[in-house]
Structures are given as C-alpha cells and as structure tokens.
Structure 1
Amino acid sequence: MPDPGFGESGTPLTEDDADALLRCICFKTGPPRTIGVELEWLVHEKHVPQLPVPPARLDRAFAELRALPLRSSLTFEPGGQLELSSAPATSLMECLDSTAADLAAVRSALDSSGLTLNGFGHDPWHPPRRLLREPRYDAMEASLDRTGPSGRSMMCSSASVQVCLDAGHEEPGPLGLGRRWRTAHLLGAVLVAAFAHSPLGAGRPTGWKSTRQALWADLDPVRALAPPLDDEPRVAWAHHVLDAPVMCIRAPEGPWVVPERLTFRQWIRSADPRPPTRTDLDYHMTTLFPPVRPRGHLELRMIDAQPGEDGWMVPVAVTAALFDDPEAAETAYRTVKPLAETAGPMPAPNNPLWTNAARHGLADPELHAAAVSCFEASLEALPRMGASAAVMGAVAAFHERRVLPGRCPADDFSLRTKEIPS
C-alpha cells in the first residue's frame, strides 16, 4: 500500500487545516518536565584525523554500530556524521547519564575499527563529501545548491549539540511558552558565542569562531530563519511554515520534484503536481532549519559540537538550568532581553547579534557580559536540579577557563592550528 503522504489515498489539506495542525502539534504546553539531547559527531581516523575515511570502511563500522543495544536513537547524516538522539528524560542527570552510556558503547565499537568521534562544529580538514544516496538527500542537495555551497557543507561537514526542552506552560512567567520562546532566540546567540568550536575549514582559519553558524546563516533566504518574535509563537510559526519554500515533493518512485519558489501555502492552493497531505506537511517541517525548531518541544539547534568525550555535557547542563530552573530562567531573560536592541528587526540568525556571536565568540563585549551572568545563574541552579558534583565541576571549570576570560573552545583550537597539517 503506498504511503498516503504520496498522494491519492491521503486527505488533501486546506489552508485552515494546515494552520490548525501547526498551532496544535508544534507547541505542546504544560509545566516543563522532560529534557533530551541530540549529539552529532564527525567520524575520523583515530590516529590521523586529517586522512579521509574510505566509505566502505565507514559502512562496515556503521553496520556494527546498528547492532548495539542503545537507549538512544542512532542515525547518520549525509556526510557520514553520527547522531545519537536521547530518549526524553525526566531529569537532567537521567539525560546525561543515559546518553553518556550509549556514547561510551559507540566509542568503544568505533575504537575497534580504528575510528573515533570528534566534536567540531565544522570539519576542520575535509571538504563536503556526501555518502548517503537517497531521494531525500538528492533533492536537498539540488535545492540548497541554488543558493551556493553552504548547503553542502551543512549537510556533510557540520555537527552540533541540540538541546530539547519542553515548550512551557500557558501562563506568563519564567516557565511560560511566550517567555521561553523569546528567551531561546536571544540566549541562542550567547550559546553560539560561548560554545563556538568551528574556526577552521580545509585546514585553515575561516575568519569565524563558529563556521557552522555562519553556514546556517548563509544557507537559504528563508529556510534557516526564525519567525518574527513580536507575534504569538504559534501564530508566527504557522505562518512561517506555510510561507516557507517547499524543498521537494516526494514520490513513491524515481527522483523527487524540486520546485522553485513554491511555498507550502501555494502548493495547497495549486494542488500541483498533487494535493499536499498531512504527511507532506510533517515532512516539510523537517526541511526547515531555524535556530529554534518547535516539535511539540523546543529544539535548540545553535550549539557547535564540543571537544572531549564529555564536553557536550556542559552546554546541555547550562541550557537546561537557564530554562527549567525558575530563578535561573528569570535571570537569563533579564540578561538577554537588552540584546534585542542589537539584534534589531531581522530574525535570527541573520541579524547583527547572531553574526557577532558566530564571528567573534566571547570576544564580543556584549555577549561576554551576558555569558558571564548566565553561567553564574546556571551554576547556582544546578544543585537545585540535582546535578552531580562532576557535572557542576565541569560547568564551573568551563566558566573559569573560558567564559570569565572571554574565550570559547574555538580560541583554544586556534592555538593548535600551526601543528595541524593541511
């Protein structure tokens, strides 16, 4: 039986249907209770990461990984990046501990193959190389190529730490949806700056502390943008999705259609080459890459992959504290609210605030001051959240070593560039 999303057996959507679905399914409100994380990693040769890994060798290693008994979901990105997506956890430590256990199993299996995971936001050495050949990625590549080379680099050379948090409840206040939505788009720039870790491309400095974020900002005129923050989140997101360009129209056989300048709203109205269905709408949302993507919960997508085996825990702990602890959330909101003046009317990430974060990291004075305040608030909140001594120690060490002196991980990496063969 064909997928109803491919046409005839699916129920065509009206504009009102689509608008109602988007407002309902993208923001599931209630008191924040769960947290999750999606970790993307670059897979490199263990001893000489500058050498490309042959595709056949990656295929063999990935086949072994798929047999591992993991709690997290294991997937692979078009360039061979590995992604672990945790199950929703009811506490910060449950999320960190369960993900760390899965990550240890993956690292051990890769080690036996002479491979390793590296946490860079953008591959420092290798050009984009697409390994997955599927209609989805063929269509994505064709669509993104229309606006330049950044799309291929995003698909094949980038990696991140994505923190997933509940959307919040309906009431106003530090844990309410409206406050959390606005905070995420301002605090996001602070997180970009604090955790920037992608200063290289092809073995040379790119001029950005977060090359990954620069790629996202250059990706597409609409696809990677946030909706306007002045509107109610559900209204703004529904309009944004319907007026965003359709990347591709799926087909049960053969290549997928890659339309040009066709929004989802226009597709509903034209019903050409077939009427879109609920499944098409769900898929369309996966082709939008804003810095904060609502998926029932809020998916914060702006943090570069981090160095070290446990470096990813710091942004997860800090972000969870600043959103889910009421006192820290209030401090974070008051801290980042003035940053809206720097951001101006342009949505993230294509505004001066986010550009400064990606280019300068914590060398930007405004972002540095905000990061210091936010990290201090998170350190006060973590004991209330049940964080372990090890996690609190890691956050404190990051704060002292990097945040206070105004340095991000990219600055430490840049010190080693002369030792790295291109």
Structure 2
Amino acid sequence: MTEGDDCTRSGPLPTDADVEALVHGICFKTGPPRTVGVELEWLVHTPRATHDPVPPARLEAAYAALRDLPLSSALTVEPGGQLELSSAPAASLLECVSAVSADLAAVRGLLRSRNLVLTGLGTDPWRPPSRLLRERRYDAMETYLDRTGPAGRRMMCSSASVQVCLDAGYEEPGPLGLGHRWRLSHLLGPVLVAAFANSPLCDGHPTGWRSTRQALWAGIDPGRSAAPPLDAEPRSAWARHVLDAPVMCVRTDDGPWLIPEGLSFRDWIRGGAPRPPTRDDLDYHVSTLFPPVRPRGHLELRMIDAQPGDDGWIVPLAVVTALFDDAQAAETAYRCVKSLAERAGPLPAPCNELWLTAAQLALTDPELRDAAVTCFTAALEALPRIGAGQEVRDAVAAYTERYVARGRCPADDLIERFRAHGKDLLP
C-alpha cells in the first residue's frame, strides 16, 4: 500500500477472531520445505573514506540508476540509505546463491562506476544515524522509536543484516515440521548472533558489544522487537502477539500520521478510535513488528549481522539452510541448542540473558562456542545432501576453521584492526 491510498477502503475488522483467522492465513503457510531466500542489507560509501557521509543527492542518483538494472532480486533502500537486495524464492541453495551473486556483481559494477562501494557491517562504525528517506512511514517510525531512546533511530539508519528466509515447514510434527522449525529458529538465534557478530563499533569507538546491532534491537520497544512465547502453538502465539503489540501509527489520507501511546491492536479493534481499523491496517501493523524471527508466510530469520567481503553472506545462508532443510542436521542442531535455553531466563528474545551474552561475548562464551561447533559441523555434513556446490562447502569450512573452531567472529578482526589502524580498519 502506498502512502496516498485510501486507508479505510477495506472496511472495519469487527472481532479479535477475524484478526486471528487472518494472521493464521497470512503469516504461516505450511507444506514441504522447498524454497530458500535471502535479504541482504549493505552500507554504501566511497572507497577509502568509510567515515565520510555520502551526499544524499549522490546516493539518490546512484539508486535511481540501479533501479534500471535487470535484477532477479528486489532492490530497496532502507531509511538511512542502506541498500537491500531481496532474492526471489529459490528452489535450492545453489540457485539462490547463483542468482544473488549475479545481481550483486551487477550492482557493484554500477556503483563502482560512480566511485561507491558496498560494505558488509552490522552497524556503521563512524557515521551518526542520518535519515535519507523522508516518507510519512519513516517519520512516524522515528517519532515512535525515539520515545524509548536512541537505539531505534540507529537501528533504522545505521544497521545492516543478512536475513535468511525459509519455508515454514510441514503441518505434521517432526524435524521439518512447523512447530520444530519455529522453535529451532528461536533457540538457534543466539548461536547465529554469536557466530556472525560483525558490529563492534559505533561513533568511532568500540561499544563493548561484538554485535552492537543486536544490542540495538534489545534496546528498542519490546512490543516491536520481542519474540512471542515459545510454549504455545506458533500460529496462536503469533496471533496473540499481533493483537497485543502496540500500534506504531494510524495512517491518514492527509497530513502526518497519528502516533498513539499505549494502544494495542486489540484495543484499537475494540475501541474503534481514532477511526475503525481495516484489513489494510492489520497488514500494515504486522509489517511494523520486528521480532528476531518474523513469520511472513515463510520464516524470516533476522538476527544475523551483515557479513564482511563480497561473498561473506553466503556462509550464514548456507549454514542456516542446511540446519533447517536437512532432517538429520535439524535434529542435531535442535538437541544442541535446546540445552542452552535454560540460560535465557524469563524474558523473551532478544532481551534475555542468553541473547545479550551472545551479542556481547559472542563465541568467547564457552557454551555458545561449543554449540556453534556442533551446529557448523552438522551443517558441513548436510551441505552435500542438500546439493550445495563445492565453493559453498569450502566457504563454510573455511569460516568454521577461521572463526568458530577458535571461538572468534568477524567482530574480533574489526576490534584488532581498529586498535592497530583506527579509521583505516577496512582492508
């Protein structure tokens, strides 16, 4: 829906039950796991000047040119000017990697002709958050998130991620079933945060977190960023979460959007003010929720920092796909990470002790390191079974040796380079 659409055209939603039925149908589509996708966010800057802002007009001109490229992925721009490529659903890991790699080569070539480059970092190390997109959606989001502190604005404008998208799974129980995959995605989250942490710097200084990006998510309104309880059936838990989550904004046809305080979607349905909500409002409300795992028909895993290098994104995509789509690896990973859950405590992800430890200590935490070794080993064994090519398998093996086996992550490299070279930390 565009900002200029009539916000009331779909008619009111009269009951909570109607909302629950819609959420069940929209957010979880069960069936055999067959497709995989990836969403890649990138910081954009000039070569050898990562600490200098790129003038907005220059970015906008480059992005206008990029939109003319014949890409298979959707190309969008995040509020702070980060560039995002969202792949089409692919029938295999190999197909996904091939398609996105071709798109990235085209994007990088055009940007290079304009003296711009893509960089994979979970947070911008130098530049303060500054919003490029001036739209009512982001005006409202910024105002809403500012109520709970600066983390939300930095998340909007200065962060980047690798988001892996997988089918929800079978209706039936088992390692490839919806219930198992939903729970595994949340239990595996801290291991993925730790293994791929790549954001230790902000405002030109170490933050004390290996994944500052994950710390930012933990610092914004839990109604936006928290996971629902895992001790209930996924669709019912998500429906309740959607109903009880605070409304970020009420769209209007003219003028600034309204930003209510303390209004849940359930309250909005029952009270009908400032106007009765519609089906479009429900769809929009769901799009403003940012938990670590978001159901969008498929499961979108959102906890992984953007990765270094041209092809660093391939490793988390391959590891996650192997651990979910190979039944043997899925069962091994589930048994491994289930034992970590006791450390989480009563708070939901990403605000609980285990997720915060993963963001701060990464694989220097012995239990997270051991879990990562087990999961990466299982993924390596599974990759040939799901048809991964030799280059992908070699990349995962090299990452396992360089980082996981040694209790390290890319953030450790950045910290060492910062201490040695300061602002020239990027090779």
One-letter code of the match for 1:29? T
1:12 CA drift (Å): 3.2
Equivalent residue, structure 2, for 1:380:
381
Q: In 1, Cα distance between the equivalents of 2:48 and 2:264?
A: 47
1:59 CA drift (Å): 1.0
Equivalent residue, structure 2, for 1:30:
31
Q: In 2, Cα distance between the equivalents of 1:3 and 1:125?
A: 36
Q: In 1, Cα distance between the equivalents of 2:6 and 2:397?
A: 49
One-letter code of the match for 2:422? I
Closer, same or farther: CA 80–178 of 1 in aligned 2, 3 Å: same
1:221 CA drift (Å): 2.8
Q: In 1, Cα distance between the equivalents of 2:88 and 2:6?
A: 26
One-letter code of the match for 1:378? A
Q: Is the 8 A contact 1:37 1:316 kept in 2?
A: yes
Provide the secondary structure at the position in 2 that maps to 1:222.
helix
Once the two structures are superposed, the pairs formed by residues 3-402 of structure 1 within 5 Å of their partners are 6-7=7-8, 10-402=11-403
Q: Is the 8 A contact 2:5 2:253 kept in 1?
A: no
Q: In 1, Cα distance between the equivalents of 2:24 and 2:268?
A: 19
1:46 CA drift (Å): 1.6
Closer, same or farther: CA 8–400 of 1 in aligned 2, 3 Å: closer
Q: Which runs of 4+ in 1 moved over 4 A?
A: 1-5
1:2 CA drift (Å): 10
Q: Is the 8 A contact 1:343 1:351 kept in 2?
A: yes
Q: Is the 8 A contact 2:10 2:278 kept in 1?
A: no
1:238 CA drift (Å): 0.3
Q: In 2, Cα distance between the equivalents of 1:298 and 1:278?
A: 22
Provide the secondary structure at the position in 2 that maps to 1:162.
strand
Q: Is the 8 A contact 2:319 2:396 kept in 1?
A: yes
- Which runs of 5 or more structure 1 residues have no equivalent in the other structure? none
Provide the secondary structure at the position in 2 that maps to 1:407.
coil
Provide the secondary structure at the position in 2 that maps to 1:147.
coil
1:353 CA drift (Å): 0.8
What is the aligned-residue RMSD (CA, Å)?
1.3
Q: Is the 8 A contact 1:194 1:362 kept in 2?
A: yes
Q: In 2, Cα distance between the equivalents of 1:320 and 1:370?
A: 17
Equivalent residue, structure 2, for 1:405:
406
What is the CA deviation profile of residues 388-422 of structure 1, one whole-angstrom value per residue up to 9, with x for unaligned ones?
11110000000001000100010011111031239
What is the CA deviation profile of residues 105-160 of structure 1, one whole-angstrom value per residue up to 9, with x for unaligned ones?
00111001111000000001110000100000000000000000001000000000
Q: In 2, Cα distance between the equivalents of 1:322 and 1:281?
A: 33
One-letter code of the match for 1:119? G
Q: In 1, Cα distance between the equivalents of 2:147 and 2:225?
A: 15
1:202 CA drift (Å): 1.0
| Paired positions, count | 422
What is the CA deviation profile of residues 361-383 of structure 1, one whole-angstrom value per residue up to 9, with x for unaligned ones?
10011110000000000000001
What is the CA deviation profile of residues 9-49 of structure 1, one whole-angstrom value per residue up to 9, with x for unaligned ones?
53434211101111221110011000000000000112211
Q: In 1, Cα distance between the equivalents of 2:103 and 2:144?
A: 34
What is the CA deviation profile of residues 41-70 of structure 1, one whole-angstrom value per residue up to 9, with x for unaligned ones?
000112211111111111111111111110
1:203 CA drift (Å): 1.3
Q: In 2, Cα distance between the equivalents of 1:409 and 1:2?
A: 39
1:3 CA drift (Å): 7.2
Q: In 2, Cα distance between the equivalents of 1:165 and 1:40?
A: 18
Q: Is the 8 A contact 1:5 1:276 kept in 2?
A: no
One-letter code of the match for 2:44? V
1:5 CA drift (Å): 6.0
Provide the secondary structure at the position in 2 that maps to 1:161.
strand
One-letter code of the match for 1:101? A
The 10-residue stretch of structure 1 (149-158 or 342-351) with the greater mean CA deviation from structure 2: 342-351
Q: In 2, Cα distance between the equivalents of 1:217 and 1:91?
A: 33
Equivalent residue, structure 2, for 1:420:
422
Q: Is the 8 A contact 1:318 1:375 kept in 2?
A: yes
Q: Is the 8 A contact 2:3 2:136 kept in 1?
A: no
Q: In 2, Cα distance between the equivalents of 1:283 and 1:9?
A: 13
Q: In 1, Cα distance between the equivalents of 2:269 and 2:249?
A: 14
Q: Is the 8 A contact 2:193 2:358 kept in 1?
A: yes
Q: Is the 8 A contact 2:8 2:277 kept in 1?
A: yes
The 10-residue stretch of structure 1 (72-81 or 17-26) with the greater mean CA deviation from structure 2: 17-26
Provide the secondary structure at the position in 2 that maps to 1:33.
coil
One-letter code of the match for 1:294? P
TM-score by length of 2: 0.97
1:274 CA drift (Å): 1.2
The 10-residue stretch of structure 1 (222-231 or 4-13) with the greater mean CA deviation from structure 2: 4-13
Q: In 2, Cα distance between the equivalents of 1:2 and 1:400?
A: 48
Q: In 2, Cα distance between the equivalents of 1:397 and 1:13?
A: 55
Q: In 1, Cα distance between the equivalents of 2:251 and 2:5?
A: 11
Q: Is the 8 A contact 1:5 1:278 kept in 2?
A: no
